[in-house]
Structure 1
Amino acid sequence: MDTATTVIAELAALVNARMAAWTGGSLATLAGRKGLRDDPGEALTGHLERHREVISAWLKDSGEPHLLRWLRRRNQFVQLDAAAIAELDALARQAREGALAALGEGVGLRAAIAEVAATLRAGLAAFVRTQLGPEPREVRCSEYTPGLQLEVLGLGVAELTAPVLDVGCGPAAALVQWLRSAGLTAEGIDREAPASATLADWLQFDYGVERWGAVLSHLGFSLHLLHHHLAGRAAAFVHAEVYMQILRSLRVGGVFAYAPGLPFLERMLPRSHYACTRVELAHPALRAAQSDTGLSLGHATQVRRLA
């Protein structure tokens, strides 16, 4: 790793730590703007002081900070239209220009960066309140082992027919890599996909027709569809249209396996073309929790194309 890359990697770690501090660790605290600090601290200020030229050059060439990615990592269900994304980009641009101006000054770096942070924080707080309400929730993505994902979906490797598509494969694409190591042709899509998968929004991806032997999505696509359905949002209809695109992308005999299940959609599928199999929770601890609480913790579904 070269010197410039190391400097920027250390900068990212320091900035992430400070953002966690001045947002109070949650979107709700950020939106409330209570008891938050804008001071960049000794470590970040010292790093900026020591590497002014390298960091300034990187800011000029790197484009806008990834505020959209940051927000999605805090709430995976956030849906932004073009105007909202433009507003978020404007906040990022203002912060970048402010940081460049602060680095170009000879003195007072700590106070100047604190002012940039305060302006960005206030703008982000207003944006979050507008988009997610006064008490926004943290709804983070998690990554699970390939074995657990297939267990929840009720599938074994021997039951999968290539090619396989993982919808919402995550930044590690662990299931994709695992399937490839088992000898299957597998692909993954995600808006934070690694180089080994495809960087794509699952609402925009071209699934094709009669292309896939299996499409998998563990706590991904169907979770978002269910969330928007229960909230009564128009995004549910968009997801439902893509759901049908995915089914049309299956080869005859192919399966779309996902968790949680979507019984309100599944009951409307033509039985002459699709067979639905409900997969109950397999893990003993989850079954016990469901029995003890009386709550339905959901299930997975396998939709197999018949014709």
Structure 2
Amino acid sequence: MKTTTAGQAPAPARHRASLAVLGTYLGLAAALLILIVLFSCLSSHFWSYSTFSTIANQIPDLMVLAVGMTFVLIIGGIDLSVGSVLALAASALSVAILSWGWGPLPAGLLGLACAALAGTVTGSITVAWRIPSFIVSLGVLEMARGAAYQLTGSRTAYIGDAYAWLADPLLWGISPAFLIALAVTVLAQLVLTRSVFGRQLIGIGTNEEAVRLAGIDPRPSKVLVFTVMGLLAGVAALFQLSRLEAADPNAGAGLELQVIAAVVIGGTSLMGGRGSVVSTFFGVLIISVLAAGLAQVGANEPTKRIITGAVIVIAVVLDTYRTRRARGRG
């Protein structure tokens, strides 16, 4: 009789799971390749190193936000406040530099702290009162945006090149911001797949009551996930400031939709319990290549919105189909 180590799935089950993950990666890579080939045929300027390096240098903020949202969705939550929290972090940072005379480092830490605090507020209220995070984050969205307007006087605050080094291209035209975002992605994938904390998050999203009955309190982990989401929104604010050299209280408006779209396209379940940071990275690339390609072929803003929305709907339908098929097998 075959035996398995306690806490591990039988070898055939692990093999099937590995094949499913590999299939997801290959499917996303194929979709990305199809987009690249399509836009290369439609535009003579798309297939160039300049295009790809520009995309890489413009996506670090979306990358880190999508990493955080992957963890939030895995535990069965959602955070709609990330764009506003980004603006709040940038606004607090700008006040520290322009009004208080702080240096880039302490001002940056203040921005990160404000963003992490906003995430902690969302997570704490969601967990303490068992309110859907959708509703709580919607309230935090409004509060954070209002605070950003208050801090900046509803005006764009120009801070200069204090963080320009994050956007300045290094070797092969790639910015430090992209390398940092890539490191965050790798670290998050290792945490999700190789740590006890990562397995707890998947367990919480799959069956929170079972986790509780196993003697594990899921509440601290859930609050921590929202705190990390807020912190990564602060990191995204630094990445945006490095490119724009200004704190705009309107920054990040609607960004939460792009973030959620990238994560869902990557295959993370809206129902919780399933997700991959690597798949999310593919989702970010697909969204970014789609946007860049549509811009190069001359698509107007309404057309871009229609196509992007259609891609999101297709991703959600596929997620629902995968979930139902998995339940049918169970």
The two structures share one fold, judged by TM-score above 0.5: no
**Highest Rg: 1 or 2?**
1
Q: Tell me: higher relative CO, structure 1 or 2? Use CA pairs within 8 A at least 6 residues apart.
A: 2
Please identify which structure carries the higher helix content.
2
Pick the TM interval, shorter chain: under 0.3
Q: What TM-score does the superposition give when structure 2 sets the normalisation length?
A: 0.24
Please identify which structure carries the higher strand content.
1
Q: What TM-score does the superposition give when structure 1 sets the normalisation length?
A: 0.26
